[in-house]
Amino acid sequence: MSDAPELPKKEEEEEEVTPEQEEHSDDSSEEEATGDTEMDFLRNLFSSALGLGSAEKVLDELSLDGVARYIKSGKCRNIICMVGAGISTSAGIPDFRSPGTGLYANLQKYNLPYPEAIFQIDYFKKHPEPFFALAKELYPGQFKPTVCHYFIKMLKDKGILTRCYTQNIDTLERVAGLEGEDLIEAHGTFYTSHCISFGCRQEYSLDWMKEKIFSDDAPRCDKCSSLVKPDIVFFGENLPVRFFSSMKMDFPRCDLLIIMGTSLQVQPFASLVGRVSKSCPRLLINMERAGQADHLLGLLGFGGGMDFDSDKAYRDVAHISTCDDGCLALADLLGWKAELEELVKKEHARIDSQDKKEKASESKGAAAKASTKFVCVCVVCVEMPYSIVSVLQCVYVVYLHVCWRNAKITDTCWHLKEVSGTRARQTGSHS
């Protein structure tokens, strides 16, 4: 049997790739990667809900001690923090849902049809006054970050924080030193504001908005006179695009999820707990348990909630306390407590010093305004009879002392005397 002739190999022809094809290829790759991530998410949901696969134990103990030992082991390098209003309550900012003390329980004075209306975009467009009145009470810059905020900052400084996802709009994460790539403000921020007109969308700064809010005016756009709204997400608005793009990248590689100060009732934020892998431990620090699995929904593939108590529990830990106490307890177990307390003390002192400088600057501005008013009064006084000028001197000195605390009475009297003397010389009177 003769050997069959070897067929010549067909040379591969190199095709020139056009920029359009290359762009399409990149888009396809990105879509495939996103699709893989979504499929992993669905697999995790079904596997968890139906009890498929073997759950590998990742903590030696389902407690705060077990979490601390896991962090100290060096296996934990990509921590994600999910935080809500509960981390800011010790700073004096109320949460939303606590009975009696929560924000929604104390909005009667605004005569709202229902509490949530104050954060609904359609209601805001017609009645912006209640929101801006509330914003004046809760405006960023009047509060200091808490122990919990600085604990998250320590995770960043130690190189083990992937990102912090926050529901809060108080900007305290930024004040504590988290910003840029460190932070996803899922429900927006006061840091910037925009005109609500789609044809304008002019951007405004934090200082601009602050001036408007504290002057008791509903902020209006300088260009088109439409309302200007801080970039916080109202009910009826979409979450920031960056929230969705970052979560697809961050959560699959997370190796410890720390959830603090949130009831996990608002979607889509609450669903993030189900986006980590099955081997990722999840720690909840909160005043009550939250985010627990709904077994009925789990059977339909919409689970992903946490399991603290069942026989199958293997990675979820609930530490019931205030967020500050929980963070201090965890820091103590990690050997970081003294460092954390020193960081809080140092940063609060820095903020106090900065506030004093700002107030001093504001006082100088007030003094300048007072000086302008003083000059105006003096100009009028020169044209008045001397006896009236003397009365005005006394009244104005008291006015400056009471209303402009930084004005020196001796200096003010000297200036008034000089003006009076000028008037006396002009009229032949004696001072």
Domain ranges in the chain are: 55-91+147-187+247-292+303-363, 94-142+188-232
pLDDT band at 420 (very low <50, low <70, confident <90, very high): very low
Looking at residue 404, its pLDDT comes to 45
Binding residues for Zn(2+): 195, 200, 221, 224
pLDDT band at 292 (very low <50, low <70, confident <90, very high): confident
Looking at residue 414, its pLDDT comes to 42
Catalytic pick among 24, 127, 187, 348: 187
CATH topology (fold) of 94-142+188-232: SIR2/SIRT2 'Small Domain' (3.30.1600)
Please check the confidence at residue 247 and state whether its pLDDT lies above 60.
Answer: yes
Most confident of 9-18, 259-268, 328-337: 328-337
- For 162, phi then psi, to 5°, come to -75, -50
Q: What is the mean pLDDT of residues 374-385?
A: 46
Q: How far apart are the first and last CA of the chain?
A: 138
CA distances from 191 to 14, 170, 210 (A): 52, 9, 10
pLDDT band at 304 (very low <50, low <70, confident <90, very high): low
Return the higher-pLDDT residue of 366 and 209: 209
pLDDT band at 130 (very low <50, low <70, confident <90, very high): confident
Looking at residue 183, its pLDDT comes to 97
Looking at residue 380, its pLDDT comes to 44
Looking at residue 283, its pLDDT comes to 98
Three state DSSP letters for the chain: CCCCCCCCCCCCCCCCCCHHHHHHHHHHHHHHHHHHHHHHHHHHHHHHHHCCCCCCCCCCCCCHHHHHHHHHCCCCCCEEEEECHHHCHHHCCCCCCCCCCCHHHHCHHHCCCCHHHHHEHHHHHHCCHHHHHHHHHCCCCCCCCCHHHHHHHHHHHCCCEEEEEECCCCCHHHHCCCCHHHEEECCEEEEEEEECCCCCCCEEEHHHHHHHHHCCCCCECCCCCCEEEEEECCECCCCCHHHHHHHHHHHHHCCEEEEECCCCCCCCHHHHHHCCCCCCCEEEEECCCCCECCHHHHHCCCCCCECCCCCCCCCEEEEECCHHHHHHHHHHHHCCHHHHHHHHHHHHHHHHHHHHHHHHHHHHHHHHHHHHHHHHHHHHHHCCCHHHHHHHHHHHHHHHHHHCCCCCHHHHHHHHHHHHHHHHHHHCCCC
What CATH number should be reported for the domain whose range is 55-91+147-187+247-292+303-363?
3.40.50.1220
pLDDT band at 285 (very low <50, low <70, confident <90, very high): very high
Looking at residue 400, its pLDDT comes to 47
Looking at residue 19, its pLDDT comes to 46
**Are 331 and 337 contacting, i.e. CB atoms less than 8 angstroms apart?**
yes
> Lowest-confidence range among 116-120, 122-126, 408-412?
408-412
Please check the confidence at residue 428 and state whether its pLDDT lies above 60.
Answer: no
Bridge partners of residue 319, in order along the sequence: 285
Q: What is the mean pLDDT of residues 39-50?
A: 59
Please check the confidence at residue 381 and state whether its pLDDT lies above 50.
Answer: no
Please check the confidence at residue 398 and state whether its pLDDT lies above 90.
Answer: no
Please check the confidence at residue 23 and state whether its pLDDT lies above 80.
Answer: no
Close Cβ partners of 153 (under 8 Å, ≥ 6 residues apart): 176, 177, 178, 343
Return the higher-pLDDT residue of 261 and 407: 261
Quick: pLDDT tens for 47-64. Answer: 555 555 556 778 999 999
184: tokens are: 């996803």
Please check the confidence at residue 382 and state whether its pLDDT lies above 90.
Answer: no
CA 291 to chain centre: 21
| Percentage of residues in the chain having pLDDT higher than 70 | 65
187 catalytic? Reply is: yes
- Residue 7, number of CB atoms within 10 A of its CB: 6
Return the higher-pLDDT residue of 333 and 189: 333
Please check the confidence at residue 426 and state whether its pLDDT lies above 50.
Answer: no
Please check the confidence at residue 5 and state whether its pLDDT lies above 60.
Answer: no
Please check the confidence at residue 200 and state whether its pLDDT lies above 80.
Answer: yes
Return the higher-pLDDT residue of 388 and 212: 212
Q: What is the mean pLDDT of residues 256-264?
A: 96
Close Cβ partners of 310 (under 8 Å, ≥ 6 residues apart): none
pLDDT band at 372 (very low <50, low <70, confident <90, very high): low
> Lowest-confidence range among 95-104, 114-123, 211-220, 327-336?
95-104
